[in-house]
Amino acid sequence: MAGTKVVIVDDSPFSIAFIKGILVRNGLEVVGEAGTLEEVKQVIQETKPQLVTMDMTLPGTDGLECTRAIHEIDRNIKVIVISSMMDDEIVKEAKENKVSAYVQKPIDEEELMTAVNRVMSSEELFRFLSSEYIKIFKEALLDGTNKLTKSLIQYKDEHVCRQEFQSEGLAVIVGIIGKFSGRMLIDVKMETAYKLTASIMKREATGIDEVLAVLGEFTNIVSGNACSIINRMNKAYGLRVAPPTIMHGESVHITAPGYTTTNILADSDFGEILLNIGFQRGDDQWM
């Protein structure tokens, strides 16, 4: 939390000084102040803060319009509203405008810092997850394949996936739920699925139903193991996996969800295996 860059938006010099005092005492870095919509846009662009405290009543504008303007510049900036007004209607509107927390004036130092800590720790958790999950899911796929088939896979390509892609034949989808939600998907040619099943079962597959069941369980194991590793790193993630849904057919297009996923391609003894995985940055932390 210390060193987090903050901009204070308020039209009262007293409030600015008061909020600044609290933030600085707690090790945050106040990089700018603004009191009008134009100032907000300018200061945000110049100082690139991670956090903004936002008054609701401002001359010629309001806190929600300013919040929208901030998120147009960078939607990852967290906004905490600090206002004397607080009722169900206004809090609902704030939520709809992607405000992360709401603190009422007169400001209680502890209450404000609890809000700041919660909002920013969520940010840090997401950053950590984003930097680690690819490695962890790759390891889980490698380990799962190795334990079940006694063979190794070789990763050969990895890229951010922002567009839809066509399934090779069989796609197994697992929804991930927790602090951040997302999905994991394994996509293979039908032929690969049959070979993988034969290797796991140590005999030829009895038919498509068995292949689907084995691939479903295989994907479930990989996603479950990976999520357990992440949960062990920090139990705040609390990741759980939904049961797999299996789709197969000709020309199945898998669309990009509204967040970034990564496509990881591996060579195995059974053919190529595509692993697609991504998490959505939620705006869950609300007080």
Q: Look at residue 155 and give its three-state secondary structure.
A: strand
Dist CA 77 CA 242 (whole Å): 31
Of residues 169-198, those binding other proteins (CB under 8 A):
171, 173-178, 181-183, 185
Looking at the Cβ atoms of 55 and 187, the one nearer to other proteins is 187
Residue 232 Cβ vs other proteins, minimum distance, rounded to whole Å: 18
Binds other proteins by CB under 8 A, chosen from 38, 117, 249, 287: 249
Looking at the Cβ atoms of 58 and 211, the one nearer to other proteins is 211
Q: Answer yes or no whether residue 60 interacts with other proteins by CB under 8 A.
A: no
Q: Answer yes or no whether residue 130 interacts with other proteins by CB under 8 A.
A: no
Dist CA 139 CA 145 (whole Å): 10
Q: Are 163 and 260 in contact (CB under 8 A)?
A: no
Q: Answer yes or no whether residue 281 interacts with other proteins by CB under 8 A.
A: no
Q: Answer yes or no whether residue 113 interacts with other proteins by CB under 8 A.
A: no
Dist CA 64 CA 190 (whole Å): 51
Of the candidates 171, 188, 181, 161, the one whose C-alpha atom is nearest the C-alpha of residue 241 is 181
Q: Are 36 and 61 in contact (CB under 8 A)?
A: yes
Q: Answer yes or no whether residue 134 interacts with other proteins by CB under 8 A.
A: no
Q: Look at residue 109 and give its three-state secondary structure.
A: helix
Binds other proteins by CB under 8 A, chosen from 15, 53, 149, 167: 167
Residue 241 Cβ vs other proteins, minimum distance, rounded to whole Å: 7
Q: Answer yes or no whether residue 49 interacts with other proteins by CB under 8 A.
A: no
Q: Look at residue 49 and give its three-state secondary structure.
A: coil
DSSP class of residue 152 equals: -
Using alpha carbons, list the distances in angstroms from residue 208 to 28, 54, 131, 270.
59, 58, 37, 16
* Paired tokens of 164: 């839809």
Q: Answer yes or no whether residue 59 interacts with other proteins by CB under 8 A.
A: no
Q: Answer yes or no whether residue 125 interacts with other proteins by CB under 8 A.
A: no
Q: Answer yes or no whether residue 246 interacts with other proteins by CB under 8 A.
A: yes
Q: Answer yes or no whether residue 121 interacts with other proteins by CB under 8 A.
A: no
Contacting positions for other proteins (CB under 8 A): 164, 167, 171, 173-178, 181-183, 185, 212, 216, 240-259, 280
